[in-house]
Amino acid sequence: MEKTSLRLKTGLAEMLKGGVIMDVTDAEQARIAEKAGAVAVMALERVPSDIRKEGGVARMASIRKIREIMETVSIPVMAKCRIGHFVEARILEALSVDYIDESEVLTPADEQHHVDKHAFSVPFVCGARNLGEALRRIAEGAAMIRTKGEAGTGDVVHAVRHIRDIHREMRELTILGEDELYTRAKELAAPYELVRMVARDGRLPVPNFSAGGIATPADAALVMQLGAEAVFVGSGIFKSEDPAARAAAIVKAATHFRDPKVLLEVCEDLGEPMRGVNAAALPLEAQLQTRGW
């Protein structure tokens, strides 16, 4: 009997496809998310926009809070650990969360190394801005990739850039000759075997989701049309005027992402979205997406 294979880990991600994973900070929000049709919740201490505003060191959420959320909902519960913080990851695994997000939203614990995710039974999701980064994370054992976007801004532009870049780089690989893949692997700073796999299949060997700045049903449908297989929504829901209505609308948009009639319907009477910040105005040192190596 297999208990830790990558196939089992990506299997859960397969089940989340076409769905919305929502950031929640307490049991009440988790209940709202589940009722709205979330396929999973991400338990955290503060949503990214608050982390951005308040500063300080952002760490793994309190165990009491994660446990409370796990006891409240029947859908999978994910939690974040800091980049490279394999002990936070071990603690989350011992707690039996369903997925760990080794996330750039938290303050990194290691400036060179990520967690060796093969060493865990629990599956991991990691952020990526481009194909090289995605394949490095997969090499380390990530069972799901999400775009980083720019978390906590409510500005979808970086999520769009990242998903376009990843897809373009994958398409480019499919037209290279066998003998050109070695150098391309070097340029991508990614393992040759994985580069070759993508060149053959035209897609990542693990599910490819989108995150970072998605705040409206239209944003969700946009990244889905660009190739995301599911979406993460962070601050976008519980920083908006009517979280329950917005959550349900984004869920519906992720299912009917190619159907403008349904999208029009779900965009009516939504209340105000999160105010957000223009990601282009953020100085480099304020960007979370540059964390990760």
Partner 1 sequence: MWPAFQGLSITAEPFCLSSRVKLMVIGILAIQGDFAAHGAMLTSLGLKQAEAGSAPGGEGDFWVLVRHARQLRELDGLILPGGESTAMLRLMDDEFFNELREFGRQKPCFGTCAGAILMATKVTHPEQRSLGLLQAAIVRNAYGRQIDSSIRNTALRLPGSAAGESALETVFIRAPQFRQLGDAVEVLARDGELPVLIRQGHLLAATFHPELTSDARVHRLFLDLVRERAGKGLSGTANSDHT
By annotation, the residues acting in catalysis are 80
- What is d(CA 124, CA 142) in angstroms, rounded to the nearest whole number? 5
Enter the DSSP assignment of 104: T
- Residue type at position 62: S
Q: Is 238 exposed, middle or buried (0-12, 13-18, 19+ CB in 10 A)?
A: buried
The angle formed by the CA atoms of residues 160, 164 and 169, to the nearest 5 degrees, is: 155
Task: Closer to partner 1 by CB, 37 or 292: give it.
Answer: 37
Query: Which residues 6+ apart lie within 8 Å of 117 measured at CB?
Result: 102, 124, 126, 140, 141, 142, 143
Enter the DSSP assignment of 81: E
SS3 readout for 240-266: CCCHHHHHHHHHHHHHCCCCHHHHHHH
Whose CA is closest to 231, among 252, 245, 261?
252
Task: Closer to partner 1 by CB, 39 or 223: give it.
Answer: 39
- Residue type at position 270: L
- Supply the minimum distance, in Å, between the C-beta of residue 139 and partner 1: 22
Task: Closer to partner 1 by CB, 62 or 121: give it.
Answer: 121
- Supply the minimum distance, in Å, between the C-beta of residue 224 and partner 1: 12
- Supply the minimum distance, in Å, between the C-beta of residue 115 and partner 1: 16
Task: Closer to partner 1 by CB, 22 or 277: give it.
Answer: 22
- Supply the minimum distance, in Å, between the C-beta of residue 22 and partner 1: 11
Task: Closer to partner 1 by CB, 4 or 290: give it.
Answer: 4
Task: Closer to partner 1 by CB, 31 or 291: give it.
Answer: 31
Residues that bind partner 1 (CB under 8 A): 1-3, 5, 7-8, 11-12, 14-19, 34-40, 74-76, 93, 96-99, 121-123, 248, 251-252, 254-256, 259
Whether 277 contacts 155, CB under 8 Å: yes
Query: Which residues 6+ apart lie within 8 Å of 177 measured at CB?
Result: none
- What is d(CA 35, CA 265) in angstroms, rounded to the nearest whole number? 19
Q: What is the CA radius of gyration of the chain?
A: 18
Bridge partners for 93 per DSSP: none
- Supply the minimum distance, in Å, between the C-beta of residue 74 and partner 1: 6
- Supply the minimum distance, in Å, between the C-beta of residue 140 and partner 1: 19
The angle formed by the CA atoms of residues 18, 253 and 146, to the nearest 5 degrees, is: 45
